Amino acid sequence: MKIMLYGGTFDPPHNGHINNLRAALALVRPDRAIVMPAGTPPHKQASTTPAALRLQMCACFAALSPVVEVSDWEIRRGGRSYTVHTLEWLRSCDPAAELYLCVGSDMLLTFTQWYRWQDMLGMAALVVESRTGTDEAALHAAAAALEQAGGRVLFAEAESYPCASSDIRSGKLPPEKWPEVLPKEALTVVRENKLYGVADM
């Protein structure tokens, strides 16, 4: 059994997230792919978007594959969401499973700063999704160092997508452009709940 974890704040999930997960699915071919919206991520400011709405927006991932499921475990657990605890939970649910953890290229470069990163390397292979297509040398150097520490790093060839959730939250990307970058499920939630300071679109 291959179980792949794809976590994030997803505030909101956009087509770049979709591309990354699609690439990871094609590479790993997991039996289960669990999309996990974070409760309160330790390395970011807490989201002002209600967790229930971020969870609802993540329904957009289900169309990628029948193996994709969205979990509210980190949200229900409460407190800060440390990835190592989520991996331990998955391991407790299926001790024999082969675990994979999706990480962005920027996260790979700072992985040794994560809480209990050595334990995570022992539990799961890392699936790296590059959002920019740059810094190849730095990425492979980071991967080599993590493999020296006992980890396993795989590179998924994700199509680069020029969008970030922060662009939408901050207003850097104007609302008229949102239909081009947000999956329809996420856009519907944004419109119905008037998220990100937009009264109407």
Give the pLDDT band of residue 41 (cuts 50, 70, 90): low
- For residue 74, list its beta bridge partners: none
Give the per-residue pLDDT at 133: 52
Q: Name the token pair of 39.
A: 């409760």
Nearest to 3 by CA among 86, 77, 85, 116: 86
197 or 32, greater pLDDT: 32
117 membership: H or E segment, kind and range: helix 117-123
Give the per-residue pLDDT at 31: 98
Give the pLDDT band of residue 201 (cuts 50, 70, 90): very low
pLDDT in tens, 107-154: 999 999 999 999 999 999 999 986 555 568 889 999 999 999 999 999
Confidence check: pLDDT of 7 > 70 = yes
Give the pLDDT band of residue 200 (cuts 50, 70, 90): very low
Q: Name the token pair of 87.
A: 């991996």
Place of tokens 């520490």: 149
Cis status of the peptide bond prior to 162, with omega within 30 of 0: no
Give the per-residue pLDDT at 199: 53
pTM of the entire predicted model: 0.92
Q: In what order do the strands lie in the sheet with 2-8?
A: 68-70, 32-37, 2-8, 98-104, 124-129, 153-156
- Of 27-36, 67-76, 166-175, 179-188, the least confident: 166-175
List domains and CATH numbers for the chain: 2-164 (3.40.50.620)
